[in-house]
Amino acid sequence: MLRWARAWRLPHGGRGASRPSFPRVPVANSSSSGGGGGVELRPLPLSFTLLDGEAGRPALVFLHGVCGCKNNFNSVAKALARRTGRKVLTVDARNHGDSPHSPDMSYEAMSRDLQDLLPQLGLVPCILVGHSMGGKTAMLLALQRPDLVERLIAVDSSPAETTFLSNLPSYVAAMRAVEIPDEPQPLP
């Protein structure tokens, strides 16, 4: 079943005096029932680090980008837990870090993983901070389950389609093609 959500789209020509348009776009409802003949999404048990803090304040939840892992946020998570007194959660997305691997790497599946994890940990509603891929996952989670999200911060991410992931295999091939000598070379 689909429900409608509003998507942010900048006016033609980028930011300017004109008002942005908000087209209605379909967003799949997330449910554990899997009704409607669709494939049921099974959440994976994600790897995470939870830093303790006050239970009465919304937790900060950090979601990493496509080439990242939960450890990317270690320093900032510790600093924010200490300075704000909040619980801080860093999560490895499926197929990243210490989380299990699955052939399904869709944003829908990553959102479903969080819909399972956050209530289990008693961290709802929370403040989601998502970088790149994590930002898109956070945006989808907020659309599907607004009851789980108090605030959302998307960093280096856009709700619009991007070409980075479609070009990712060529980026990886280029990085693998770089020849790095085993021994350091003397400078001329």
Domain ranges of the chain: 66-158
Average pLDDT over residues 97-101: 97
- Contact by Cβ (8 Å): 89, 123: yes
Average pLDDT over residues 48-61: 95
Report which residue type is found at 157.
S
- Contact by Cβ (8 Å): 141, 149: yes
pTM higher than 0.85: no
First to last CA, the chain: 65
Q: What pLDDT digit, counting tens, does each position of 71-93 carry?
A: 999 999 999 999 999 999 999 99
- Rounded CA-CA distance 65/69 in Å is 7
| pLDDT of the residue at 163 | 61
Average pLDDT over residues 137-159: 94
In this predicted structure, the answer to whether residue 24 has a pLDDT above a threshold of 70 is no
The phi, psi pair for 77, rounded to 5°, reads: -65, -45
Topology (CATH) of 66-158: Rossmann fold (3.40.50)
Q: What pLDDT digit, counting tens, does each position of 104-139 carry?
A: 999 999 999 999 999 999 999 999 999 999 999 999
User: Percent of the chain, pLDDT > 90?
Assistant: 59
